[in-house]
Structure 1
Amino acid sequence: MTPVHLTGPNLALREVEPEDADALLAIYGDPEATRHLSFEPRTREQVQAITARSIDSANATPRTEYCLAITRLDEHQLIGYARLATEPQQAATIGFALHPAEWGKGFGTETVHLLCSLGFNVLGLHRIWAARSPLNEASERTLLRAGMTEDGRIRDHVFVHGAWRDSITYSILEHEWTPIDGWDQQRRPA
């Protein structure tokens, strides 16, 4: 598959590059940014490994993982990290993290829409799902605004911060998803 480059009204998703490691560390190394994620803050070495794995996944055949940099439209600086991992039965799980300076701007909802565009329009998936921490009410609002439906709770789903934590799951089916008019597209470099 050619490199992914999706655009929305305010954001773009592009392939991760080695130079993104510092910007990703500013998110994944930040206790506030990772407070509701399924892992504790990452070290520089761990983020460098994530960056390398993200780049390697783009070259895998078949490609089953799409680890993408979130940027502002027409800018190159990573402000977040998005991931879509395919599963059997034409399904995928998605997740994302934004730098705390970008919270509250609608970028999470736009990121979910871009990931759905990738999954449904490019990859031909039938179902996309996501999970959130029960305490992450902002994520709840984001997923619902993006058109997802709450499916339920996975008890003791992840072990993080020294304790087991549940996850609340959401999903959307291909026939339920409605792209936002005028920006549902994938641009590929020439």
Structure 2
Amino acid sequence: MHPIARSSAYLGLREITLTDVDAMLAIYGSSAATEHMSFEPRTREQVEQIVTRGVTAAAATPRTEYALAVVEQETAELIGFGRLALDPHQQRGATIGFALRPDTWGRGYGAQTVQLLLGFGFNELNLHRIWGARSPLNLASAKTMLAAGMVEEGTIREHVLKAGEWRDSVVHAILDREFSSGS
């Protein structure tokens, strides 16, 4: 399934391209944006590798990863990144991930991004379950996933090693029968 294009009132999802490296660096290179992620801020070279992997994954058959740019509808500017990765251990399951540029936080874009990703996963990929994990301190992400109808399922203890310290992850998930594209 290529190319992917979905939209809401203010945002769109599209395939990531090699020209997106600098815009992605504004997210993955930002200490604010990566504060609750499982990694430290990335260099330009590392971001270029991430984007290249996403472009390569889009051409794979069968496709198991969807690395998508989140763009503002009005400006077509890349402001975030969304990802669905099919779970090899679960039939019709996937993990979700998303990140937005810090200067766009607080506008409801996170909720729209998650809704677009879930809609794509359930309506076009026919998935049964989508789940994601967050830092216990990332309350904005918790609020975003709960608003999209995802349920907090529990904690994976000492799941992530970041800056030399172990961190837990909180798991959120949603099933196809629980998803409503209008929520």
The answer to whether the superposition gives a TM-score over 0.5 is yes
Alpha-carbon distance, 1:73 to partner: 1.3
Q: Name the counterpart of 2:81.
A: 81
Q: Name the counterpart of 2:49.
A: 49
Q: Name the counterpart of 2:112.
A: 110
Q: Name the counterpart of 2:28.
A: 28
Bigger RCO (CA 8 Å, 6+ sep): 1
Unaligned runs of 5+ in 2: none
Q: Name the counterpart of 1:165.
A: 167
- Quote the Cα distance in structure 2 between the aligned partners of 1:138 and 1:2: 31
Alpha-carbon distance, 1:19 to partner: 1.0
Q: Per-residue displacement from partner, 1:62-111 (whole Å, max 9, x unpaired)?
A: 00000000001143321001100011311000011000011011111111
Unaligned runs of 5+ in 1: 182-190
Q: Secondary structure at the match of 1:2?
A: coil
| Letter of the structure 2 residue corresponding to residue 44 of structure 1 | R
Q: Which moved more, 1:149-158 or 1:172-181?
A: 172-181
| Letter of the structure 1 residue corresponding to residue 99 of structure 2 | A
What is the TM-score when the length of structure 1 is the normalising length?
A: 0.93
- Quote the Cα distance in structure 1 between the aligned partners of 2:58 and 2:74: 22
Aligned-pair identity (%): 54
Pick from 135, 142, 145: which aligns with 1:143?
145
- Is the counterpart of residue 5 in structure 1 residue 10 in structure 2? no
Q: Name the counterpart of 2:178.
A: 176
- Quote the Cα distance in structure 1 between the aligned partners of 2:76 and 2:9: 15
- Quote the Cα distance in structure 1 between the aligned partners of 2:23 and 2:98: 14
Count of aligned pairs between the two proteins:
181
Two-structure CA RMSD over aligned residues (Å): 1.0
Change (3 A) 1:130 1:44: same
What is the TM-score when the length of structure 2 is the normalising length?
A: 0.96
